[in-house]
Amino acid sequence: MIIKKYSTMNISTALLLCDLIIVVLAFFVFDILTGLCSILGLMAKTLVIDKSIERMKLNKFFTIVCDHPEPICDFITEELDHSATTYHAKGAYSHAQRTVILTVVDVKQAILLQRFIKKNEPTAFITVTKSSEIIGKGFSNYI
């Protein structure tokens, strides 16, 4: 965490470097088999830690194209306690006027939002993108 704070290296890479030094020393202090087993354990641990850290920071970015944005925006602001950005768009194929809603919620809230949209605006077009770095008001900055 100290290395992450003072450099651009992520936590899993910093842990990998520290552990790699220990594994190299294991080759010299112990036998080759112990060193090789240490390398396998190191790789497995690094993958698990990296995935765990990414999962802790995971959010979902929604792009919702719909005809009636008011109920969805009300649900996002009142029930999920988040904000949303809306803008008007015109379909390239149909030339129909639609509203686009942009919002970011956590993983649990994403399920609630999807259920709400499916129930109240079944013709809405939704894209959901996983995002592990959200910077701004209402989102924690993990160091």
Distances (CA, A) of 78 to 70, 85, 113: 12, 15, 12
Note the pLDDT tens digit of each residue in 124-140.
999 999 887 777 776 66
Which of 107, 133, 105 has the alpha carbon at shortest distance from 10?
133
- Which helix H or strand E contains 65, and what residues bound it? strand 59-66
pLDDT of residue 102 exceeding 90: yes
More confident residue, 1 or 61: 61
Separation of alpha carbons 77 and 71, rounded Å: 10
pTM: 0.63
Which of 136, 19, 107, 116 has the alpha carbon at shortest distance from 72?
116
More confident residue, 61 or 32: 61
Distances (CA, A) of 13 to 20, 43, 52, 93: 10, 11, 14, 46
Range among 1-5, 27-31, 55-59 rated most confident: 27-31
State the residue for tokens 């010299």: 28
Q: How sure is the predictor about 123, in pLDDT bands with cuts at 50, 70 and 90?
A: very high
Compute the average pLDDT of residues 59-84. Answer: 94
pLDDT of residue 116 exceeding 90: yes
